[in-house]
Amino acid sequence: MNTVAHGGDGQVHGASVGTNLAIWIGLVAITGLEVFLAYEELQPTLMLTILVGLSLVKAAMIMSYFMHLKFEKFSLVLWLVPSMIFCIMMMMIFFYPEAFRLLHMRPH
């Protein structure tokens, strides 16, 4: 199934070279921010929340521009993203209560 939003007309569809370069610089900058925060000795839960949040931002940038999802039909986004989120949430349902129950049972 061809879900790519361009034909073989030789024309470039999607972001320009400048935009892709700006996205790349943004990705490197966020990486630098993550490394900086790693040495700030934040409380682990806060650190984890910030790191996962920044990773999700980087993932959205890569998927939107480098993987071209921003320029595809929206039906492709609806087809892919909700199903992934649903399956990951299902995995988290088993992780969340059990992991923290065992955390509280750890010897102090």
- Residue 9 corresponds to which tokens in the numbers above? 């007309």
Of the candidates 46, 73, 78, 92, which one interacts with another protein according to CB under 8 A?
A: 92
If you count DSSP H runs as helices and E runs as strands, how many of each does the chain have, helices first?
Answer: 3, 0
Which of 56, 29, 26 lies closest to 37, judged by CA? 29
CB 54 within 8 A of CB 30: yes
Smallest distance, Å, CB 56 to another protein? Answer: 9
Tell me the Cα Rg of the chain.
19
83 touching another protein, by CB under 8 A: yes
Applying CB under 8 A, the residues found at the interface with another protein are: 2-4, 6, 8, 10-14, 17, 20-21, 24, 27-28, 31, 34-35, 37-39, 41, 44, 47-48, 51-52, 54-55, 58-59, 62-63, 65-68, 76, 79-80, 83-84, 87-88, 91-92, 95, 98-100, 102-103, 106-107
